[in-house]
Amino acid sequence: MDKSAVVDQRLVSAFDSPVLARDAILYFANSRLHYDNEHRYEQAFYGRRIRPHILKFLDYSSSPSGDAITSYAAFSANRLLASMYEGDFLLLPTEAAAFVARDFDEFYDPNRRIAAAIAIPYLERYLFNFLAQEIKLSGQWTPGKVQGYFLHYAAEVRKQQCLPSARAIAESSDPPGAARDWLIQLAPDFLLESSPMARYASGSYGAVGSSLFKIIIDELGYGDFRRSGYPLH
């Protein structure tokens, strides 16, 4: 017996193989929490309408251009990636009646989290590779120029009589539905925002680290739960 022959040499040649990533995506998505149904929005707290019966026919091997980033495939990949990211956070409903142990166990199933870890880099390359071609740095940027740029941007935004998002909602074929979709896109942001910030704050106590801690403390309401932005139930 060769005691050094530990790793099985089969299946794929590398862990970034598109074949392995596709298997991981379908394994993660193949859950009753992710199946499509007659409801427009999720009816269960841990439900995520990823629609695995459609995912199996989508190709994520070639990154879309900036013009195609609003395609159905790109939207589905964003939805899938967001659901995979959520596995890093402990999400609990504010009302005890909304907690279903079976759903919790399935949402945080270790095998599905492993599948997500394999698929995430693949999906990130698919969604964000176009930025390398879209973003061009020009000139010699300094802290003062960066500050001036954002101050100018903020001043221009304040001059707008109507935000582009509000205009898109008002001019859509279903304004109430479009408004709900937009709010649902924004609603979870503040609930998870401080958690990834805290990861970057550990171990560095210089000026940048101190400033980051100020932001995290502000996110959590300076110790006053009523000011934290979290729902009070």
Can you tell me which residue has the tokens 């989290």?
Answer: 113
Q: Give the pLDDT score at 189.
A: 59
Alpha helices by DSSP H, listed for 12-130, are 18-29, 52-55, 72-86, 101-107, 110-128
Q: Give the pLDDT score at 103.
A: 93
**Gyration radius of the chain over CA positions:** 22
Q: Give the pLDDT score at 188.
A: 60
Which structure tokens are listed for 132?
């390398």
Q: Give the pLDDT score at 18.
A: 80
Can you tell me which residue has the tokens 């402990």?
Answer: 90
CA angle 164, 135, 83 (to 5 degrees): 65
Q: Give the pLDDT score at 190.
A: 57
Mean pLDDT per 10-residue interval, the chain, length 233 residues: 51 71 90 81 83 87 78 89 88 85 94 93 90 81 91 90 87 90 70 67 75 79 65 42
Q: Give the C-alpha separation, 217 to 219, whole Å.
A: 5
Q: Give the C-alpha separation, 26 to 214, whole Å.
A: 40
pTM of the model: 0.67
Q: Give the pLDDT score at 105.
A: 95
Q: Give the pLDDT score at 53.
A: 87
Decide if 123 contacts 81 (C-beta within 8 A).
yes
Q: Residue 225, CB half-sphere, CA atoms under 13 Å: how many?
A: 3
Q: Give the pLDDT score at 231.
A: 47
